[in-house]
Amino acid sequence: MEILMSLVIGALLASAVYLMLSKSLLRIIIGTGLLSHGAHLLIITMGGLKRGAAPLLGEEAAAYVDPLPQALILTAIVISFGVTAFFLVLAYRAYQELGTDNMDEMRGNEAND
Amino acid sequence: MSLLHLAIFSPFLMAMLVPFFYKGLRSIHTGWFVLVLPILLFTYFLGFLPITRNNQAVEKSFDWIPSLGISFTAYVDGLGLLFALLITGIGALVVLYSIFYLSKEKESLHNFYVYLLLFMGAMLGVVLSDNLITLYMFWELTSISSFLLIAYWYDRERSRYGALKSMLLTVFGGLSMLGGILLLSLMGDTFSVRELISQAGELNEHPLFLFAMILVLLGAFTKSAQFPFYIWLPDAMEAPTPVSAYLHSATMVKAGIYLVARLSPIFAFSGYWFWIVGAVGIFTLFWGSLNAVKQTDLKGILAFSTVSQLGLIMSLLGVGAAALHFDALDDNIYTAATIAAVFHLINHATFKGSLFMVVGVVDHETGTRDIRKLGGLLGFMPVTFTIAVIGAFSMAGLPPFNGFLSKEMFFTGMIQLLELNIFNLQTWGLLFPILAWVGSVFTFIYSMMIVFKTFSGKYQPEKLDKKPHEAPVGMLISPMILAALVVVFGLFPNLLSYSLIQPAAAAIIPSLVGPGEKLSVHISHWHGFSTELLMTIGVVALGALMYVTLSKWIKLYTVFPGKVSLNNLYDTSLYAAERGAYSMTKSYMNGFIRTYLVYIFVFFIGILGFTMWTENAFTFNQNNLAPIGVYEIVLVVIITAGIITILMAKSRLTSIIALGAVGYTVSLFFVIFRAPDLALTQLVIETVSVALFLLCFFHLPQLSRHEERMGFKLGNVLVSLGVGAMVTLMAISAHSNKMFDSISSYYVANTYEKAAGKNMVNVILVDFRGFDTLFEISVLAIAGLGIFGMIKLRLSKKGEEADEN
């Protein structure tokens, strides 16, 4: 299962990088979304996918899955959400102010250097 | 902190007071207040003469950074005292001269005297420091104050050019010297010059020895304008003439000489020292004098003549090093070279200082320094003419002036080289006396040019801005004193020999002077019909002949095109370096964010792939894998489909929805991987994110609302596949190398026992690792405030209009 997940994560990252290299600002943000999904799945996979009960003591199982990666991912999800929301509003404001979403047109011109 | 330290720091203290004198007492020329200090210092340093006469020294020390072995140790021996007397003595004369040279009304005098005092203090620090780091600090301070003084008239373009050039070259040398100092301290484990001298024998065998020597010499050669670093000195002539007289003839350019002399006891045992210092010096002498003849500006001639004379002193110091290899001889003839170097050092300071002041007088009274416009001034300025004759004849090496004596001693030193049979001198040794002699002929020619092109010949009033007349008395006092010294030292050289020259020479070659002994220094005018005398007669004869026929062969200089010069090399290489740096930066900093991302990703692939390859790090281990169920396969298929949809989608809307699909699939993964909290959070957050994406999509500007298919680029595909492959390989490899068990058994065991909760993830988040949560809350708060600010705050004009609407 871990090998399969590694391949899925690789595919997520590859497509994320591909999107981030494109011109459109929205696609870049979609790429960052895929990138964070890949990272979250990587954390949980590397924590080991051994079958066990959910990390709730009420289950009274013999073995539980590792709770630590889950806590880490939960933190990461919230942070990446905050950053993504900020980026999206930034992109929205950039559309409003600059009238473009093409990254090639957004490069600083030399007169401003 | 002793009186000696106070003496070294007093110019800095005085520099702080200068602006108050300038603003407070406008009616009196600020220079009069400044003049007091160098006179006081000069008399104070004269008090050391009885001590150094017996080859003893005064040492005072106080700690600066004791933990690094850096202290401020002031050390006065013969060599240091000689320089200190030169600095304060000529300093006093230059300040006096500048009072009459610089106008009280037109010039910003406070700047001038602050810079000059800074320089004086820095120079005293250089020559009286025993600690190499302190010496380096003062050394750079001389570079900075010299930079400020050259650009004193900063509204002139040539001044700024000259200042920048001298700064670049001398700081280049200064930094090299710092490298050499650090290497020395690595080898000898101390920064103190005297402690290093005591271990000279061991240092000599150290593998870093040669590097330290070359780096230190780079510093000395750039400061003392040796070939090929002399090019800054002619451009430094844009400074006011008192500055040229003080810094660029008598003191700062001798800092390199001082360094070479001071470190001779450490380095001179090596044959390389002899060759490098001797050969560079003698070639500089030759080259400087050759170039001086073609100058038309009086200060230009003097600048090249300074270069040439510094080369002379440097070559004598190099040759003097030979003395250390023959210490078995009873009467060591090679110590004569060191004595000659010290003697000429004093002589050069006197006659060159007076010549610069003479040129300043001529410039001041006629408005030009161009020898093509000058001529026939003898009738107008008889006093100036007399001083010029004394200075120039001494420089040319004519009796009865002091230049004659040191020139004879110089020839002696060069001829004695022929008797030397070490360092492969048999083959190349003959070049030294030949270059010395040819250099002397040209020295004679340009010395005559200074006097006769200026003061004799035809008077050309139509080319002059002012009607020439004799300078004010105050302006002539300083050059008269210096000219008088030239004559006095010329007639009674033994006034100096045991008071100044002997202690200084003994400090340069201490290993040859036993306790209580003194070097025998006796300078006599007449020593028979020797080879040296014949050489001098030859110099005068050929020099006079060539001067008379100057107009016939001066055109030879134009044979060499102006483009083949070191100045041109400096200018073009500076320009090429600037252009090169600009185009290099331009080529990779192109402003496209995509390019920078490609750099980052390619580097990521490269460094990770390289490490895996070289360390043989990839492992594949099938143990410990979880089984694959049907659900997982279904989810993998869905997520793959989502990815493909995003990549292939024609419209942005499709890719946003596909991204949502991927996010929900991830939360389903969390469900089957037994992570209920993650699944919940992921579901909610994915929903909000997709809503935000749709908001952005809705607000796309009208213009670019075209549904575009993403441009297909092979490079992007390669880079992204590489990143994906790398991450996959890394993940597989990391999973196959489990080093030790998880620490989570502790959480499982203690979640209820110690933290009174049953949901392990939540207990970790708020109890075991609550700090993470605190700051993750802060991140959300900052993001929220940031978004609010971005939407509400409109500072641009466009924004204000939008608000009004």
Q: Is residue B774 part of a domain?
A: yes
Asked if residue B397 and residue B330 are part of one domain, the reply reads yes
Largest CA-CA distance found in chain B, in angstroms, rounded: 116
Domain total for chain B? 3
pLDDT of residue A37 exceeding 90 = yes
In this prediction, residue B52 has a pLDDT band, given cuts at 50, 70 and 90, of confident
List the single residue in B with minimal CA-CA distance to A87.
B787
Q: Number of Cβ pairs closer than 8 Å across A and B?
A: 272
What's the rounded Cα separation, in Å, for the pair B221 and B257?
Answer: 8
pLDDT score of B634: 93
Which segment of B352-361, B431-440, B534-543, B792-801 scores lowest on mean pLDDT? B792-801
- Asked if residue B538 and residue B460 are part of one domain, the reply reads yes
Buried b / exposed e over B656-667, threshold 16 CB at 10 Å, is bbbbbbbbbbbb
pLDDT number for residue B406: 85
The answer to whether residues B529 and B579 belong to one domain is no
- Residue A49: its chain B contacts at CB < 8 A? 626, 673
CA–CA min distance B120, chain A (Å) = 42
Q: How confident is the model at residue B420 (pLDDT cuts 50, 70, 90)?
A: low
Q: Mean pLDDT throughout B514-518?
A: 65
- Residues in a beta bridge with A24: A102
Residue B769 pLDDT = 92
Q: How confident is the model at residue B462 (pLDDT cuts 50, 70, 90)?
A: confident
What pLDDT shows up at residue B333? 66
Taking the CA of residue A90 and the nearest CA in chain B, the distance in Å comes to: 7
Nearest to A13 among B594, B724, B735 (CB): B724
Mean pLDDT across the stretch B136-159? 93
Q: What is the pLDDT of residue B268?
A: 83
B646–A14 CB contact, under 8 Å: no
B562 shares its domain with B438: no
Using CB atoms, which residue from A22, A79, A106 is nearest to B779? A79
Nearest CB partner across the interface for A56, out of B624, B673, B759? B759
In a domain, B247, yes or no: no
d(CA B498, CA B511) in angstroms, rounded, equals 19
Residue B317 lies in a domain: yes
Q: Distance from CA of residue B76 to its chain's centroid?
A: 27
The model's pTM: 0.83
Nearest Cα of chain A lies from the Cα of B781 at a distance, in angstroms, of: 9
Write out residues 93-122 of B within 8 Å (CB-CB) of A: none
| Per-residue tokens: A113 | 């250097």
- A38:B798 CB<8 A: no
Mean pLDDT of chain B, nearest integer: 86
For residue B625, what are the contacts with CB-CB under 8 A and spacing of at least 6? A1, A2, A3
**Residue B487 is assigned to a structural domain of this protein:** yes
CB count in 10 Å sphere of residue B300: 19
Residue B381 lies in a domain: yes
- Residue B431 domain-assigned? yes
Cβ-contact B254, B153 below 8 angstroms: no
pLDDT digits (tens, 9 = 90+) for B71-96: 999 999 989 999 999 999 999 999 99
Question: DSSP string of A50-70?
Answer: ---B-SBGGG--S-B--HHHH
Cα(B589)–Cα(B598) distance, integer angstroms: 12
Position B140 scores a pLDDT of 95
Contacts of B776 in chain A (CB under 8 A): 75, 78-79
Residues B488-510 have a mean pLDDT of: 84
Residue corresponding to tokens 């600059």: A98
Q: Is residue B455 part of a domain?
A: yes
Region B553-562: what's the mean pLDDT? Answer: 70
Note whether residue B412 is domain-resident: yes
Q: Are residues B315 and B447 in the same domain?
A: yes
Question: Are the Cβ atoms of A74 and B765 closer than 8 angstroms?
Answer: yes
Taking CA–CA distances from A28, the nearest residue in chain B reads B594
Contact A10 B724 (CB under 8 A): yes
CA angle B487, B490, B491 (to 5 degrees): 90
The residue extents of the domains of chain A are: 2-53+64-104
Residue type at A39?
A: A
Report the 10 Å Cβ neighbour count for B213: 24
* Residue B696 to chain A, least CA–CA distance (Å): 6
Same domain membership, residue B435 and residue B481: yes
Percent of chain B with pLDDT over 70: 92
Q: Are residues B517 and B567 in the same domain?
A: no
Please report the residues numbered 625 through 664 in chain B whose beta carbons come closer than 8 angstroms to any beta carbon of chain A. 625-628, 632, 636, 639-640, 643, 646-647, 652, 655-656, 659, 662-663
Topology given in CATH for the domain delimited by A2-53+64-104? Helix Hairpins (1.10.287)
Is residue B74 classed as helix, strand or coil in its secondary structure?
strand
All residues of chain B having their beta carbon less than 8 Å from the beta carbon of residue A11 are: 640, 643, 724
- Interface contact flag, B761 A70, Cβ < 8 Å: yes
For the cut 60, the answer to whether the pLDDT of residue B314 exceeds it is: yes
Which helix (H) or strand (E) segment is B308 a member of? Answer: helix B298-320
β pairing state of B58-65 and B70-76: antiparallel
Whether residue B716 and residue A73 make contact (CB cut-off 8 A), yes or no, is no
Residues of A in contact with B655 (CB under 8 A): 27, 30
pLDDT value for B698: 78
- Asked which of B548, B579, B602 is the last residue of a domain, the reply is B548
Query: Does B412 or B136 have the greater pLDDT score?
Result: B136
Contacts of A41 in chain B (CB under 8 A): 666, 669
Q: What average pLDDT does range B494-504 have in this prediction?
A: 83
In this structure, are B519 and B571 located in the same domain? Answer: no
Q: Which DSSP helix (H) or strand (E) runs through B31? A: helix B30-46
Residue A29 distance to chain B (closest CA, Å): 9
A18 contacts B716? CB cut-off 8 A: yes
Q: What is the structure's pLDDT at B424?
A: 54
ipTM: 0.93
Q: Report DSSP letters for B80-135, one per residue.
A: HHHHHHHHHHHHHHHHHHHHHHS-TTTS-HHHHHHHHHHHHHHHHHHHHB-BHHHH
The span from the CA of B730 to the CA of B93, in Å, is 76
Last residue of a domain, one of B526, B548, B570: B548
User: Domain range spanning residue B579?
Assistant: 558-589
Q: Are B416 and B334 in contact (CB under 8 A)?
A: yes
Cα distance between residue B789 and residue B784, in whole Å: 9
Instruction: Convert B236-267 into a string of H (helix), E (strand) and C (coil).
Output: HHHCCHHHHHHHHHHCCCHHHHHHHHHHHHHH
Taking the Cβ of residue B477 and every Cβ of chain A, the question of whether any pair is shorter than 8 Å is answered with: no
The verdict on B462 and B581 lying in the same domain is no
**B666: chain A residues, CB-CB within 8 Å:** 37, 40-41
Q: How confident is the model at residue B564 (pLDDT cuts 50, 70, 90)?
A: low
Residues B504 and B585 reside in one and the same domain: no
Distance in angstroms (rounded) separating the CA atoms of residues A22 and A30: 11
pLDDT, one tens digit per residue, over B358-402 is: 999 888 888 888 888 888 888 888 888 999 999 999 999 887 888
